[in-house]
A and B are shown apart, each in its own frame.
Chain A
């Protein structure tokens, strides 16, 4: 076990030239198990490949167990290191044993066969076989038989490992070998021979030689490589333990006895196999034959059905675009737009992206025919062509978007369009893709789940045999977002012995384990669609979710091979917007209107909408409803669409940590002069007043000022996007950026500042192209909130769970905007919230039964149907008999107090229901004695509210805090409504506020500060809790439902905060039951 961490290069590091040694011996290693054989291999494919190149191997194969997941990484690394890569796979197949010997294991033994395709077709066969095996088995497993192997062996070289022991030609292995020999020929089949210094080495070698002679199969030397360097033995042992769920002490013979399974120098291999030179030359033969296939031969082909026969893709795209343009601009396409479209056509034609646009357009069209709202975003989405195709709704005539900002000619990679769909209906789109292209041709991309500090320390700790308690403490000391394992100094603070040998080894190994792949998961929505069978390019496996299939490669792999991916994502706000528009149209039609509101016809740039946003009146509005955004809105004062784009992007960890927010605000409010070092910089940063706010700007900046090439800038972008996985990569660019800028004559101070800002982006930067699409949804949702508050609130509640706020706050906000909200009622409510006639101009909002805790949707529909056909019921008994709904379900409605229109409150309804029994026959109904609710004790109003909260999550009767008001007044507690009064409550004034905790937020950017939003019957108040105060009042702040807080007022313009100095649990103040059963949402 090395005491020093092994100074290995981190994978995927920007090209560091590998010094290739010229080995005196020709040798290619063919059996390498990387860490993509999850929990088997102890090194990254990149490490293995570059080490092999260093040692002067003629070629190296990555052959993972039943998987090709690591080959793309190896392929990229091999190209960089200049060593031929042999693509291979270690297939394990079940072999039927002839006679089941007594005492023999019932599971057929597994035969390991290394498969190395020599042609593209053979590779296809291999992928197909793995797909068959994986689709047959549960997720992550592969179930193949010898017959499968024999069916798919054409064109593959194969290496078989004889199992331990003697073998005759009649025994099971002999028979298998004969079968294999028939299929493969001696030409393509080899017998594996190893020298691993194991006890039975000599016997095994003798057995190999015997078999080789008897069957005429050539021998091949391998070293069964599991790690690139012997120092990794420790980690590999730990992986074995993790795999088997045991500790090192218990691992016994499942771990290897020695550290010989590393990449040895070819000369050493030659020495070991000096008696078998033919086994060494055989490695070269196989490698040469296998070099007939390389991953570069995988040609991505767009599916053909997106284009009608007889037309080229481009022609079809042009037709569709002009057709769409006609619809978008009924009064004629403006010249500027026409020009831009023509320009984009050139670009698309040059870069050959037509098929991609058509694919996206096809998906969007499908969604449109099914009335699923969708919107594209991303680099290529904000183009005039996409607008005409209906992929986005960002009108190029309205916003000045330059397309080459999004598609650059230099960056030769597929354009990036993510399409958001309504979250409740995205599955329809996914299944459409599966049915249209077939599971053979379409699949989701994988997401490689890798070890993070927390999981690494947990697993290593367990394997090292630390007590569960200690493992827990170590793991808990790492937050989910930590990138590094804690060091020894911090260890001492945890109260564990920092000098302990085992503990130090644990930390060292855990550090090494970070970044190791753990398993494959599915990407959120990245789809790969091909013309030919996808399963001939990459194995496809079952996902954990039913009806989903996933390929083995992740999005970086796909990028590296130039395959196309469409992101089909889910967005809750789209659901809400569609539902709101439907409600508005429905209402409009009932009032005799046309009901023709559409997403695209919502009037643009309405000043009243911006007025509303400037007042931070944004509960429920997409993206700008969080507390941080609500504080920003009055300071930024958005007045146009592009302001919203900035608003969306500015309240992000990137700009906040990069220190961009305040300079931007100062410049915007004309408190600071806007200046640029030169004209080039003005071009890049002009739109954002000289402060880089978007990822694209950061990239342009390094190109313009630091002399980066487009490719380098792109690497920087990847480094920024992938900070989670590749930690410190961004710092490597730092030096380059600063020196580049200095060389171009910029001041050191400017260069430093730019780098700080770019570093900020590595935390979390927002691309302008995404912000532009999001800003549109901000505007649309704000417009709906402004003009149709009832429909908007109803739609948001009907789309739950989504967004920041719960139905209680949404209802409250609607009431504040003059909407009459009516309670759930069996006679009036459906499953969803609806609009009803009201005395005012505005419709009233009727809460839907979906808010009732635990109620099933079909109950609600059964009741609604029964009420519709029968009319109002006089008693619960009648309703129960007629609708056939079970008593338990009716109870849930009674708990929600939904029988008021029958003249029964909750108490009466529950009393009546408690008598009904589902299995009781109707013939006894005649004997039903009416016993009233007399004799029941009176129900106090605060308890009524408690039960409202318990069942519905809100109460229209009273706010829980209102029952405490008399008591709170005596304690001189201020209401949230009064707190807004800027004359009385000046900054620095000591006050007390009390209320329910709506949201607790502890953003990573705020260095431990906790933000709490309190709500009382008059409104909400914002609290800020400093870490030391938090520590002091932790039990209260962590768990309480409602608190009374003491603190100082802080004012910033219209925004009021309370800087908390003390907190008290409201339950301690009162015996009133009104403070149970409400809950808050915690965001971190």
Chain B
């Protein structure tokens, strides 16, 4: 006889975030009284909508599906967080792994009905057949789990029943936080529960409610044929599953092993060539595996097991996923050069600890594109090399910004944080004729212009006098008024000195002072 344990976590989406915000500490009894209202919101059709709210918010009249603005009006000072179903689901996955304490067969489970907002996993199912004696009794098992979840700050409702359907139904809709159901009591326990406990679609529930059928007992009264004609097989199937007339199984979660390859030497080797050759072999092998998985590595570790010494390892990180063994080797090689072999290496392990997907790409037909791709790839590879040598924050690139103010027309950012597309950069660069070298700070100079709006004819700068032979301008640029409190207007001129140097000078209108801001070299 099967025994299924269902853990229902009605407030999971909120509570795991609250727990994370507490820093994972258990809830202390003193802080039980909740002060802040927590709201999780999603954006629906450009409007912020509450998708989960805490009990306190609910008491203030907030409910899921309400517009955030309205909820804010009801609960001023609410803590509003973005609802991220993916992360919430990941967090529940890790809880499921925790549940391996209690059973090897665990799965994450959600309400199967089509709900609004869309259902996210909010419970776990455990197969606990034949293990009650380990905890004394099934009830003590429930108490153990409930206690632990409660201390961790999670509201939980649990049930053990002979069928998945019954455990699911009683955990969600039963009257107690913990219930143990024996097989002869299943039907009695289900009879007073609402239809939703049967895991049927919401529209079927609504249709049945309209004719007064609201609870399981009402369904049991109706002829099966009448139900089948009207609502199809599903409701009968669910009923039978819950009552144990039809068997139902679930797919348990499994562990994902990281992709790791090992080569053990026949006896310790102290030859670096042996290690490097083996590593290259392993890389080629890894590349083959990755090809099958349509993925590439972004993080790779090589570990050498040494005789009588602790193992040593080296890691590389990549800007984008790759499975090019040659490239990977070119990154690994410099790191491995200075590895200490100790008394000999017994084994080499290659672990791809960060794998990312690479979509299959069609080969380009036009050579032009292929060249572009190759170029791009080469740059990426170069950047990978540089980043792995000097660190992520040390490799910067200049990015063009669309701004009239020269100081803001470019900035340096770590290469890996680049967001602009090449097109945008080009658009920003194309705008104006700007000097090839710009000074970080404009340098004060003395100049004489014979007429207003005309380039200066003499310039004293860095202690030298320059006679100016040619000039163009002015180009008038206002500072960006929203940044700076001090309003300033500059008239820029491109001027040539008698020595032939081209300078970029400007006159600040407010102070009537001259500055040199850059030069063409």
Interface residues of A (CB under 8 A from B): 1, 197-199, 201-202, 233-234, 237, 248, 250-253, 255, 257-260, 272, 464, 469, 472, 476, 501-502, 505, 895, 906-907, 910-911, 914-915, 931, 933, 935-939, 943, 947, 1034-1036, 1038-1039
Contact = CB atoms under 8 A, between A and B. Distances in A.
A761 B474 CA distance: 57
A907 B61 contact: no
B501 interface: no
A1035 B61 contact: yes
Contacts of A933: 211
B58 to A, nearest CB: 10
Contacts of A255: 404
Contacts of A464: 482
Interface stretch (B118-126, B160-168, B221-229, B303-311): B221-229
A846 B207 CA distance: 28
B489 interface: yes
B438 to A, nearest CB: 15
Question: Which 5 A-B pairs have CB atoms at the shortest separation, nearest pair first?
Answer: A252-B402, A1035-B61, A197-B476, A1-B481, A257-B404
Give the most central of B207, B221, B231, B402: most A CB within 10 Å: B402
Given A910-B211, A914-B230, A937-B213, A258 B482 contact: no
Contacts of A502: 482
B520 to A, nearest CB: 15
B211 A936 contact: yes
A257 B482 contact: no
B475 A198 contact: yes
Contacts of B315: none
B403 interface: yes
B69 A1 contact: no
A258 B207 contact: no
B223 A935 contact: yes
18 contacts: A1-B487, A198-B476, A201-B475, A233-B478, A234-B482, A248-B480, A255-B404, A258-B404, A259-B478, A502-B482, A910-B207, A915-B226, A915-B229, A915-B230, A931-B226, A936-B221, A937-B212, A1035-B61
Nearest to B80: A469
Contacts of A895: 210
B475 A197 contact: yes
B74 A936 contact: no
A848 to B, nearest CB: 23
B477 interface: yes
A1034 B222 contact: no
Interface stretch (B27-35, B90-98, B333-341, B427-435): B427-435
Given A910-B210, A915-B229, A936 B218 contact: yes
Contact of A911 (B74, B80, B211, B214): B211
Contacts of B453: 272
B101 interface: no
A233 B487 CA distance: 12
B60 interface: yes
A198 B473 CA distance: 8
Contact of B212 (A252, A938, A1036): A938
B1 to A, nearest CB: 32
B419 interface: no
Contacts of A936: 211-213, 218, 221-222
A364 to B, nearest CB: 45
A199 B214 CA distance: 77
B428 A252 contact: yes
Given A252-B428, A258-B489, A937-B213, A931 B223 contact: yes
Interface in B364-419: 401-404
Interface in B432-489: 432-433, 453, 472-478, 480-482, 485, 487, 489
A233 B404 CA distance: 14
A299 to B, nearest CB: 47
Given A251-B402, A258-B477, A1035-B60, 20 more contacts: A197-B491, A198-B476, A233-B478, A233-B481, A248-B480, A253-B402, A253-B431, A257-B404, A258-B478, A258-B489, A272-B453, A911-B211, A914-B231, A935-B221, A939-B212, A943-B212, A947-B210, A1034-B74, A1035-B61, A1035-B74
Contacts of A237: 481
B418 to A, nearest CB: 17
Contacts of A476: 69
Given A259-B478, A914-B230, A1039 B61 contact: yes
* A199, A248, A472: most-surrounded residue (chain B CB, <10 A): A199
Contacts of A197: 474-476, 491
Nearest to B74: A1035
Interface string B482-502: 100101010100000000000
Interface of B: 60-61, 69, 73-74, 80, 207, 210-214, 218, 221-223, 225-226, 229-231, 401-404, 428, 431-433, 453, 472-478, 480-482, 485, 487, 489, 491
A198 B476 CA distance: 6
Nearest to A938: B212
A937 B403 contact: no
Nearest to A465: B482
A1 B482 contact: yes
Contacts of B481: 1, 233-234, 237
Contact of B211 (A1, A907, A931): A907
Contacts of A1: 481-482, 487
Contacts of B482: 1, 234, 248, 464, 502, 505
A516 to B, nearest CB: 19
A947 B433 CA distance: 74
A258 B60 contact: no
A882 B270 CA distance: 94
A255 B403 CA distance: 9
A334 B401 CA distance: 84
A257 B476 contact: yes
Contacts of A258: 404, 476-478, 489
Contacts of A914: 207, 211, 230-231
B218 A937 contact: yes
A1063 to B, nearest CB: 12
Contacts of A233: 478, 481
Nearest to B494: A199
A614 to B, nearest CB: 41
A1068 to B, nearest CB: 11
B471 to A, nearest CB: 10
Contacts of B473: 202
Contacts of B214: 937
A198 B477 CA distance: 8
Contacts of A501: 485
Contacts of B431: 253
Contacts of A250: 402
A385 B48 CA distance: 58
Nearest to B474: A197
Nearest to B230: A914
A257 B477 contact: yes
A257 B223 CA distance: 80
Contacts of B225: 931
A939 B69 CA distance: 39
Contacts of B230: 914-915
A931 B230 CA distance: 12
Nearest to B226: A931
B434 to A, nearest CB: 9
A1038 B432 CA distance: 58
Contacts of A939: 212
B407 to A, nearest CB: 14
Contacts of A943: 212
A440 B222 CA distance: 69
A257 B432 CA distance: 12
A201 B477 CA distance: 13
Q: Could you say which of A237, A250, A936, A1038 has the most chain B C-beta atoms within 10 Å of its C-beta? A: A936
Contacts of B404: 253, 255, 257-258
Contacts of A469: 80
A752 to B, nearest CB: 40
Contacts of B222: 935-936
